[in-house]
């Protein structure tokens, strides 16, 4: 079994001896009950990973010796999923599964037909839940490069991302072209747009198409918005050779 992963600052990972304290240290020492001699990986979440061994443990921290370091290169092509806001806790579920699969950025989108809307006074709290879900899922998946979770995007914001992408795909159940037929670029960024449970409006589809988004059919069945993103990402990760 691969060693557990915990987050630490970049500066800390440059040292030969690291003290892991705070929430990460308490979790490692109290919940995981790691003890001297056990292997642990520490990452800054930006690609730097330190292979460590525990040398001391107390109730709130670990002391570790760094055995080796490596830096994961930037992924190519980068895969970004624009995720319309799902209902309830399905948003965090979508973030968790896409993070586990290997998506590089997740963009929450306030689409017109979203049942859930992040009101201004609750936006930061909701965004914090998504970012926390990405952080915890990234650790569980042993990722050294965690996905970015962007600020809430409007349709104009999404159109801008689509226009800047090397390849932009808009999932739509009535599209003629299947996702499996898409030819991904070797580099740059692939943007996948996932609409809400109520579907993308004609106006949104037109705006995204005008920006260069290609309507694409994921498969013969209609998936929930919270599962469509990870299914599309799996197809693209395989097609690009990242899987």
pLDDT of residue 222: 87
Exposure of 220 in the CB half-sphere (CA atoms within 13 A) = 0
Residues 6+ apart with CB under 8 A from 147: 98, 99, 103, 104, 105, 106, 134, 138
> Domains of the chain, with CATH numbers?
5-71 (2.40.240.20), 78-240 (3.40.1280.10)
CA distance linking residue 131 with residue 99, whole number of Å: 11
97-141 pLDDT, tens digit per residue, is 999 999 999 999 999 999 989 998 889 999 999 999 999 999 999
* Three-class secondary structure of residue 49 per DSSP: strand
DSSP category for residue 120: G
Mean pLDDT of 229-237: 97
Per-residue pLDDT band for 1 (boundaries 50, 70, 90) equals confident
Beta bridge partners of 55: none
164, pLDDT greater than 80: yes
Which helix (H) or strand (E) segment holds residue 83: the answer is strand 78-84
- CA angle 78/83/86 to nearest 5° reads 155
pLDDT of residue 165: 98
């Amino acid at each position: 079994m691969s060693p557990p992963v915990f987050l630490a600052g970049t500066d800390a990972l440059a040292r030969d001896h690291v003290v892991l304290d705070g929430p990460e240290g308490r979790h490692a020492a109290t919940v995981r009950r790691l003890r001297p001699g056990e292997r642990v990986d520490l990452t800054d979440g930006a690609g730097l990973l330190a292979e460590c061994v525990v040398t001391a443990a107390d109730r709130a921290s670990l002391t570790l010796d760094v055995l080796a370091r490596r830096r994961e290169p930037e992924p190519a092509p980068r895969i970004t999923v624009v995720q319309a806001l799902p209902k309830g806790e399905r948003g965090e579920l979508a973030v968790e599964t896409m993070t586990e699969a290997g998506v590089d950025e997740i963009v929450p989108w306030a689409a017109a037909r979203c049942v859930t809307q992040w009101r201004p006074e609750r936006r930061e709290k909701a965004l914090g839940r998504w970012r926390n879900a990405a952080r915890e899922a990234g650790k569980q998946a042993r990722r050294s490069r965690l996905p970015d979770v962007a600020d809430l995007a409007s349709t104009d914001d999404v159109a801008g991302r689509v226009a800047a992408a090397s390849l932009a795909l808009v999932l739509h159940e009535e599209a003629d072209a299947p996702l499996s037929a898409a030819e991904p670029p070797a580099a740059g960024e692939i943007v996948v747009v996932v609409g809400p449970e109520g579907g993308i409006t004609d106006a949104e589809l037109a705006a995204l198409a005008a920006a260069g988004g290609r309507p694409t059919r994921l498969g013969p069945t209609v998936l929930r918005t919270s599962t469509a993103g990870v299914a599309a990402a799996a197809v693209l990760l395989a097609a690009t050779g990242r899987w």
